[in-house]
Amino acid sequence: MSALLSAKNLSLSFGGVHAVRDISFDVEQGEVFSIIGPNGAGKTSIFNLISRLYNADSGDIVFAGESIISQPAHRIASLGIARTFQNTELFEHETVLNNMLIGRHVHRCSNLFSELLFLHSVRKQELEFRRIVEDVIDLLDLQSHRNQVIGSLPYGVRKMVEVARALCIQPKLLLLDEPSSGLNPEETEDVSFWIEDISRDYGATIIMVEHDMNLVSRSSDRVLAIADGAFVALGTPSEIQNHPDVQRAYLGD
């Protein structure tokens, strides 16, 4: 089986800081793959490399058989990669529904002329968008919030809206940066349920950066541990949790 995403010898530095050092990993189609590591290990930097917000100093990223290392950031969503941010990034003054519809726009393939005439195909496309958005609202249980403005919502719900927006582009690969941060234990448990739903119902492959080891263990097929930008270990959740190098990376010698 060929990997959906391959990171090959990725390196990234900021001045003297080596944020990512020669990191390689493969993520298989349908997998839930977690990246763990202490604060500042380089986890978000790896996401920023995959979503092309940062340029790698060296290395390659192959997605669905094609190198994306030189793709512009704005093309990444249309290739089928969606993400959430460690600190949610939503349109504060818009409703939940509008934030989700904005997420869908990457898939529009009509020109202005046909939009003006509101041709049959455009209307069909619009109905299709709405259906997908409604499915995502159901999946993530956001019905009661659909017309609420983001700024008025509690943090846990905002985090869900960000996931919802990402799902509206029907991604092949979903990158979740600390989905449980700021959530209470009950909300964190819910995260593992919707990850399972997304993986099963949408067939999306998931890469998750996460600090909560219970969530990582419950949801992940495999885990990559990094520290100081460098590879520490890769394996099943139990292999990683009991790995002496991983324990050393967290606790120090």
Ligand X SMILES: Nc1ncnc2c1ncn2[C@@H]1O[C@H](COP(=O)(O)OP(=O)(O)OP(=O)(O)O)[C@@H](O)[C@H]1O
Listed ranges 40-48, 75-83, 90-98, 154-162: which one lies at the site for ligand X (CB under 6 A):
40-48
Query: Is there binding between residue 16 and ligand X (CB under 6 A)?
Result: no
At its nearest, how many Å lie between Mg ion and the CB of residue 175? 12
Q: Regarding beta strands 230-235 and 32-36, do their DSSP bridges make them parallel or antiparallel, or are they unpaired?
A: unpaired
Binding test (CB under 6 A) with ligand X, winner from 4, 33, 34, 42:
42
d(CA 25, CA 108): 32
Which parts of this chain interact with Mg ion (CB under 5 A)? 43-44, 86
Per-residue binding letters, 18-37, with ligand X (x by CB under 6 A): -x-----------------x
Pairing of strands 58-63, 66-67: antiparallel
Q: Which stretch binds ligand X (CB under 6 A): 39-47, 72-80, 118-126, 155-163?
A: 39-47
In sequence order, the 6+-apart residues with CB closer than 8 A to the CB of 45 are 12, 19, 20, 54, 229
Give the SS3 label for residue 190: helix
Task: Name the phi and psi angles at 9, rounded to 5.
Answer: 50, 50
Q: Which is nearer to Mg ion, 44 or 180 (CB)?
A: 44
Phi, psi of 60 (to 5 degrees): -145, 155
Q: How many CA atoms lie within 13 A of 152 on its CB side?
A: 9
Determine which residue in the list 7, 23, 41, 169 makes contact with ligand X, applying CB under 6 A: 41
Residue 14 within binding range of ligand X, rule CB under 6 A = yes
Pick out residues in 84-113 that bind ligand X (CB under 6 A): 86
- How far apart are the C-alpha atoms of 12 and 4, rounded to whole Å? 22
Counting contacts by CB under 6 A, is residue 7 touching ligand X? no
43 is a contact residue toward ligand X (CB under 6 A): yes
Give which of ligand X, Mg ion, none residue 19 binds (C-beta under 5 to 8 Å, depending on kind): ligand X
SS3 call for 237:
helix
Residues near ligand X (CB under 6 A): 14, 17, 19, 37, 39-45, 86
